[in-house]
């Protein structure tokens, strides 16, 4: 199938709509991104890559990285990871404090900020040099070393991290953060700053569409069982308090980031990534969500 024709057709329709929302204003480095950028890539389990528009331009993947940090921590701890972070949808914004206090410092899932911070704490405790180990992990999956951190974005996030610092300190008070708070947060900001193109994203995540095995390197990244668990979490939790709507309209497991990216997986078939920086009120890419809804409808491809 020529996915590029489908991409172009959908984009031509969506480009007539008002691209609502705005870039992430609370992170200065993200606020100044050209809001009209748009890229999409799809990578099949057979190794075919399809791309459209700004698919070769790097952007900050932000919370999309939470899936990858979870995978690495899952490889380290196995099922013990679920003693410290839950697997339930939050139904609250990604940076909410309310639920966390009520549930005594155990985040609902690993994709809200509190959950991802706990995962960062796990990796800081388990790895000798977590920043290097995390990049090595990504390079292992994709088969090259083109992926890296953005020092400018990490610095920008750290300087405006008041709510995230409240989250980590609250969890520390409940005993669910084991390492030094500043060390954990420096690592968290660093991994959220990672920049990729949509082409790189679909390749890095392709193991989740292929039962845990990278179709690029043919290496097993996680077990088939673990891949199923991670995909299930993306389906129910990857879009925070908009996860149900994304499942209803798009029908694929996925994860969004406030850099404007969305990554989605069709297990057994393909991985797709869209980048459009303007966010809706829930913090997800407005045009990216619309595009994926139109795409799965046009080709009749969802997991349902």
Q: Which residues are catalytic?
A: 63, 66, 188, 240, 258
Q: CA-to-CA distance for 130 and 120, rounded, in angstroms?
A: 9
Is the CB of residue 57 less than 8 Å from the CB of residue 40? no
Contacts of 42 (CB under 8 A, 6+ apart): 3, 49, 50, 51, 202, 270, 271, 272, 273
Beta strands in 151-233 (DSSP E): 195-196
- C-alpha distances in angstroms, 251 versus 66, 170, 262? 20, 35, 14
Q: Which of 252, 133, 162, 151 is nearest to 202 (CA)?
A: 252
Cross-strand bridge partners of residue 49: 43
Note the Cα 227 to chain centre separation in Å. Answer: 15
């Amino acid at each position: 199938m020529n996915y590029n024709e489908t991409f172009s057709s959908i984009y031509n329709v969506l480009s007539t709509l008002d691209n609502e929302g705005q870039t992430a204003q609370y992170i200065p480095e993200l606020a100044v991104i050209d809001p009209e950028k748009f890229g999409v890539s799809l990578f099949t389990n057979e190794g075919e890559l399809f791309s459209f528009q700004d698919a070769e331009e790097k952007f900050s993947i932000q919370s999309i990285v939470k899936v990858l940090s979870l995978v690495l921590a899952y490889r380290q701890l196995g099922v013990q990871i679920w003693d410290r972070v839950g697997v339930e949808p939050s139904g609250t914004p990604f940076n909410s404090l309310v639920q966390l206090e009520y549930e005594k410092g155990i985040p609902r899932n690993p994709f809200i900020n509190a959950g991802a911070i706990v995962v960062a704490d796990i990796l800081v405790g388990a790895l000798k040099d977590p920043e290097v180990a995390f990049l090595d992990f990504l390079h292992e999956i994709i088969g090259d070393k083109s992926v890296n951190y953005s020092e400018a974005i990490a610095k920008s996030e750290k300087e405006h991290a008041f709510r995230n610092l409240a989250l980590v300190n609250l969890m520390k008070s409940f005993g669910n953060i084991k390492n030094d708070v500043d060390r954990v947060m420096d690592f968290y900001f660093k991994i959220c700053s990672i920049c990729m193109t949509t082409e790189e994203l679909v390749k890095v995540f392709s193991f989740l569409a292929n039962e845990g095995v990278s179709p690029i390197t043919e290496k097993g990244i996680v077990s088939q069982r673990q891949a199923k668990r991670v995909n299930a979490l993306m389906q129910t939790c990857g879009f925070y308090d908009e996860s149900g709507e994304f499942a209803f309209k798009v029908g694929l497991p996925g994860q969004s980031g406030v850099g404007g990216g969305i990554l989605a997986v069709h297990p057994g078939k393909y991985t797709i990534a869209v980048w459009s920086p303007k966010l809706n009120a829930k913090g997800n890419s407005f045009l990216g969500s619309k595009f994926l809804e139109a795409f799965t409808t046009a080709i009749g491809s969802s997991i349902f």
